[in-house]
Structure 1
Amino acid sequence: MTMSGPEGVVETLRRSQYDIAVIQQVAPDMKLLRHIRNSRIPTPIMIIARDITPAGVAGVLSIGADDCVPASVDPIELLARLRAIIRRASGHDSLTLHIGRLTVSVDRREAQIDGKPVPLTRREYEIVELLALRKGQALSKEAVLDNLYAGQSEPHGKVIDVMICQIRKKMRNMGIEEPFTTLWGIGYRLNEDAFIPLGARTKDFDQTVRQTARESSIPVTAGIAMAPSGTMDIL
């Protein structure tokens, strides 16, 4: 995307859900980068410049760039660097993402439930990886489309709904009832609670039962009103 001036860059980054901003320049622009960081924009930034020196790289890194590479960088290396920055920004420090029973192997492009591969298509895997990297965040269908089809002709947004539905079916067959939370009018979010190990759920339930039992055994003193014990809301 092409933007006009520092204010245009900041406004676009503030309004949009980008995993990373890649700024291509002839030489690293310290003023632009400083303006972005002074505006408290947390989006990771990679600088790609034609004319760079060790001092220039050190300068942009000290101001707040996450990486700075020459324009001649090999595409395979560039993609690996971009993925690494996004992983670190999302709180993951390895090529394997662990979320309860879900494991996403970024290097092998494979998702597993309890160690068993989920039979996903390439695009379905990319959705799972994207939502796993951005766990805790809701992504709009437009944001998912941008990530899956960046630089290509994008299909209609309904294709994301179809793929989400297919992933749900495949994960339900492996014991995950609701892998995604649908936020109507907003988008989708990974449902981390769905991947809690079964043993951990049983332990939490037992603790709740024991706590309720202890509370229900407290003697009632005259003149003190107590709410009925054992009440449970199921959402």
Structure 2
Amino acid sequence: MRILCIGDTSTQGDGRPCSGLSRAALDGTISITMSGPEGVAETLRRSHYDLAVIQQAAPDSRLVRHIRKSRVPTPLLIIARTLTATTVADVLSAGADDCVPISVEPVELLARLRAIVRRVSGHDSLTLQIGRLSVSPERRVAHIDGKLVPLTRREYELVQLLALRKGQVLNKETLLDSLYGGESEPHGKVIDVMICKIRKKIREFGIDEPFTTLWGIGYRLNEEAFIPLGAKMSSAENAGNRPSRESCIPVTSGINILASSNALDLA
């Protein structure tokens, strides 16, 4: 999970993320990029982030409203030192997805971050279920038909990202940012190689094309490839049993047509 942490000097004098985020970053669960509030809308527009965390002394809706008026859809979570029911309601009404106190326990904060990303991506459970494929962000594993797919850490992160963004085409820059954010990013070819290796592993489960390649654009999870076999057969049978389309043009009997033709000849 790639997070842009928007710091507030009145909250964190040393310019570091709150302890909850720091602990999550230490175990490799998330990568954090620090930023000030200036130009943050453009930063979110130019680079891919799963979520933005705004650290404030007290919830202030002005930055949230600015980001939303700039038509930036990135999910927003507010971490503040002082909270009241009114200020929390104000930032939520302005477009924030959640608001928590700075004293929030790391395990709860991480769960809230994951829940927001899942919800925004259209998933309503802890496990991302796409047909035969299930991805567990909590355990960081992927299964097909209940069997573990032997993925490396980076390969798993790539599969999870494509599963979260199902239906979307992600370019190599976005994939590199998400997988290597905050680190020295390798050449874009590493994504092609990784996709190739994952394809080979998933083909062992009888799935030929788990990803759709749009040349010069990027990659997308091929949801149709993961449709359960029974559902595919049922769909094919239904297609074969469809009644033939009937013409809506009224048909006159042959006898009447002949009679009409003879009448014309006599005329």
- Normalising by the residue count of structure 1, what TM-score does the alignment of the two structures yield? 0.81
Indicate whether 1:102 and 2:133 are aligned: yes
1:135 aligned residue (132, 148, 166):
166
**Other structure's SS at 1:98 match:** strand
Deviations 1:59-99 (A, max 9, x none): 21232211223445454443332211100111112111111
**Other structure's SS at 2:168 match:** coil
Of the structure 1 ranges 121-130 and 18-27, higher mean CA displacement relative to structure 2 is found in: 18-27
The within-5 A match list for 1:207-218 is 207-211=238-242, 214-215=244-245
Compute the displacement of 1:101 (Å).
Answer: 0.9
Q: Residues of 2 paired with 1:110 and 1:25: CA distance? A: 35
Q: Residues of 2 paired with 1:198 and 1:182: CA distance? A: 23
Q: Residues of 2 paired with 1:150 and 1:77: CA distance? A: 23
Match of 1:53 in 2: 83
Compute the displacement of 1:166 (Å).
Answer: 0.8
Deviations 1:94-146 (A, max 9, x none): 11111111111222211111111111111111111111111001111221222
2:191 aligned residue (160, 170, 174):
160
Compute the displacement of 1:32 (Å).
Answer: 1.5
Compute the displacement of 1:204 (Å).
Answer: 1.7
1:62 aligned residue (77, 87, 93):
93
Of the structure 1 ranges 160-169 and 21-30, higher mean CA displacement relative to structure 2 is found in: 21-30
Match of 1:119 in 2: 150
More contact order relative to length (CA 8 Å, sep ≥ 6): 2
Deviations 1:131-172 (A, max 9, x none): 111100111122122222222332222222211111100000
Q: Which has the larger radius of gyration?
A: 2
Q: Residues of 2 paired with 1:178 and 1:46: CA distance? A: 36
Query: May I ask how many residue pairs the two structures share in their alignment?
Result: 218
Q: Residues of 1 paired with 2:131 and 2:45: CA distance? A: 32
Match of 1:79 in 2: 110
RMSD after superposition: 2.7
Match of 1:232 in 2: none
2:62 aligned residue (31, 39, 43):
31
**Does structure 1 retain, via aligned residues, the 8 Å contact 2:58–2:83?**
no
Of the structure 1 ranges 171-180 and 40-49, higher mean CA displacement relative to structure 2 is found in: 40-49
Of the structure 1 ranges 122-131 and 28-37, higher mean CA displacement relative to structure 2 is found in: 28-37
Indicate whether 1:92 and 2:101 are aligned: no
**Does structure 1 retain, via aligned residues, the 8 Å contact 2:135–2:143?**
yes
Structure 2 counterpart of 1:149, which letter?
Answer: Y
1:179 aligned residue (198, 210, 234):
210
**Other structure's SS at 1:28 match:** coil
Indicate whether 1:19 and 2:50 are aligned: yes
Compute the displacement of 1:11 (Å).
Answer: 3.3
Q: Residues of 2 paired with 1:138 and 1:58: CA distance? A: 35
Structure 2 unaligned regions, length at least 5: 1-32, 253-267
Q: Residues of 1 paired with 2:214 and 2:149: CA distance? A: 24
Q: Residues of 2 paired with 1:88 and 1:40: CA distance? A: 19
Q: Residues of 1 paired with 2:97 and 2:158: CA distance? A: 24
Of the structure 1 ranges 82-91 and 57-66, higher mean CA displacement relative to structure 2 is found in: 57-66
Compute the displacement of 1:36 (Å).
Answer: 2.2
